[in-house]
Each structure stands twice: as structure tokens, then as C-alpha cells.
């Protein structure tokens, strides 16, 4: 067997990581730290960079840098000890998705939740180029520090991940954009992903967020997803409650691996 090789990919080459990563997705929720949708959401950034590990030119892991955390998913049967050694070498970031021997765990816990296909009712409408501005407006009004723009939305939809995206929007009775969500397809019989979900700060408390979540989940199930996963901080009780009200159940909690202090 050959040695483990780490590759840095730009958006144009992202398909090299997306295809195997989708094949590694289970039926209920990602087993590692990364879903193809996580990479797809990153493509909104100009100059986005992704990671792919190979052995003898065969993909064995994929991931990306999420601020101070390297989020990674390994292929079934991959040599996780070799991968952990590579992740530990020459880097000071935390790691999610691969056990790191001798490292500690972050105090922050993340709830991994899953939705099973079922019949739902939703007022959600599909987002297209005509309504993309409203989808961007909701994102910016949902997250105080959001820098999402129409240019970023267009960049994402011009990327190799565009065909995986399912985006929905819910409006108020008067037609104002109230909630939006993006879902990501990984293939028939594999789990999809919600990333991200937001409700306009002026329209919270009216069920719009739950409605758009159900709409995206139903759309992903309609394409053949076996389930839909979402990952949210366990301390964000409002988000956990929203997803539970939409039919999600908590499968487990994750904690990032923290490098030992020097």
C-alpha cells in the first residue's frame, strides 16, 4: 500500500472530493465531520480551499478548514491512524470527524440530528434566480454577522456542487421573505444535509422556520435521500427545538478534538 498524500483543491477541482465523499455517506447522518453539502456551502467564498487525502491515487478522506477546526470525513476502511498522524503534523487547529489519540475534547457539544422521510405540509417555494435576492436577504437578516451576498450565491450555484443544492423560501401572507434554507443531496439512498437555515429577525415565532425546514427535507426525500441530517450546537436550544418540531431526532453529540497544550 502506498503512502497517504494530502491535496489542496480549489473550487474548480472540488468534484474530486465531492464524488467519493457522497459515496461514503450513510443512510441516517454523516459518520465523520463533513458532508458534501458542507463543501458546497463553502464554495460561496472566492478562493475557497478544500482538502483531499489519497493513497495510490484513491480518495480516502476529504474535508476543509472551518476557521480553527479541520473538519474531515474518512472513507470506510481508511487507515485512521495514518490520517490522524497527518492531521496532527504541522498544524495547530482542532479536528472534527477523526479520532485523535492523546488529544482532549472541546467543551462545546454539537447535536447531530436526523429526519426520516414522511409526508409533510409546507408553504415553502423553490428558490431560483428570480428569488435569489430574497433568499440572500433572509440569510443576512437571520445572522448578525452574515456577509452573504448575491455574488456569493451565484458563485455557489456556478460551482461543481450546484447540482446538489436544494433551496427553499417561505414568505409571509403579504409576500415578504420570512425564512430560507439550503439542503444538499448526496445521492439516492444516502443522507442529505441542511446547511444553513435562517428565519428573518422580523418574522420569528410564526412557524416559518419549521415550514422551510420541512419543505427542504421533503424536496431532498423527493430526490431519493434516505434521511436528512443537521448539526447544530447543543447549547443553541432554540435551534434544537426548531428541528425537533420539524421531526428531527438527536442521534448523538459530537465534540471537536483539541491539540494538547505545548
The pLDDT, as a whole number, for residue 206 is: 96
Q: Which fold has domain 113-254?
A: Aminopeptidase (3.40.630)
- Residue 90 zone, left/alpha/beta (φ > 0; ψ -120 to 50; rest): left
Q: Which residues pair with 63 in a beta bridge?
A: 51, 72
- Tell me whether the CATH fold assigned to 4-105 matches the one assigned to 113-254: yes
249, 107 in Cβ contact below 8 A? no
The pLDDT, as a whole number, for residue 184 is: 98
Q: What is the pTM of this model?
A: 0.96
The pLDDT, as a whole number, for residue 83 is: 97
- pLDDT tens digits for the chain (262 residues)? 789 999 999 999 999 999 999 999 999 999 899 999 999 999 999 999 999 999 999 999 999 999 899 999 999 999 999 999 999 997 789 999 999 999 999 999 999 999 999 999 999 999 999 999 999 999 999 999 999 999 999 999 999 999 999 999 999 999 999 999 999 999 999 999 999 999 999 999 999 999 999 999 999 999 999 999 999 999 999 999 999 999 999 999 999 999 998 6
The yes or no reply on domain 4-105 and CATH 1.10.150 is: no
What is the distance between the alpha carbons of residues 218 and 224, in angstroms, rounded to a whole number?
Answer: 10
What is the distance between the alpha carbons of residues 139 and 146, in angstroms, rounded to a whole number?
Answer: 7
Question: What is the torsion angle, in degrees rounded to the nearest 10, for the CA atoms of residue 83, residue 101, residue 35 and residue 70?
Answer: -80
What is the distance between the alpha carbons of residues 242 and 153, in angstroms, rounded to a whole number?
Answer: 25
What is the distance between the alpha carbons of residues 214 and 245, in angstroms, rounded to a whole number?
Answer: 10
The pLDDT, as a whole number, for residue 107 is: 97
Q: For the chain, what are the domain ranges? A: 4-105, 113-254
Amino acid at each position: 500500500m502506498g503512502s497517504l498524500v494530502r491535496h489542496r483543491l480549489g473550487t474548480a477541482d472540488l468534484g474530486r472530493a465531492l464524488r467519493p465523499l457522497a459515496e461514503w455517506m450513510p443512510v441516517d447522518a454523516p459518520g465523520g465531520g463533513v458532508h458534501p453539502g458542507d463543501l458546497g456551502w463553502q464554495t460561496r467564498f472566492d478562493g475557497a480551499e478544500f482538502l483531499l487525502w489519497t493513497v495510490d491515487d484513491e480518495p480516502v478522506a476529504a474535508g476543509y478548514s472551518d476557521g480553527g477546526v479541520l473538519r474531515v470525513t474518512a472513507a470506510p476502511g481508511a487507515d485512521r491512524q495514518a490520517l490522524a498522524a497527518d492531521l496532527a503534523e504541522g498544524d495547530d487547529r482542532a479536528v472534527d470527524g477523526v479520532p485523535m489519540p492523546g488529544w482532549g475534547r472541546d467543551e462545546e457539544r454539537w447535536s447531530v440530528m436526523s429526519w426520516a422521510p414522511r409526508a409533510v405540509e409546507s408553504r415553502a417555494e423553490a428558490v431560483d434566480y428570480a428569488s435569489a435576492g430574497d433568499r440572500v436577504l433572509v440569510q443576512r437578516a437571520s445572522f448578525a454577522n452574515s456577509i452573504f451576498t448575491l455574488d456569493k450565491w451565484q458563485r455557489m450555484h456556478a460551482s461543481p456542487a450546484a447540482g446538489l443544492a436544494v433551496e427553499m423560501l417561505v414568505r409571509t401572507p403579504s409576500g415578504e421573505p420570512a425564512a430560507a434554507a439550503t439542503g444538499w443531496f448526496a445521492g439516492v439512498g444516502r443522507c442529505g444535509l441542511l446547511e444553513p437555515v435562517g428565519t428573518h429577525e422580523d418574522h420569528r415565532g410564526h412557524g416559518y422556520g419549521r415550514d422551510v425546514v420541512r419543505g427542504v427535507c421533503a424536496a431532498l426525500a423527493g430526490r431519493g435521500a434516505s434521511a436528512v441530517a443537521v448539526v447544530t450546537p447543543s447549547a443553541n436550544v432554540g435551534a434544537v427545538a426548531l428541528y425537533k418540531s420539524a421531526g428531527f431526532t438527536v442521534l448523538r453529540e459530537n465534540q471537536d478534538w483539541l491539540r494538547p497544550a505545548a
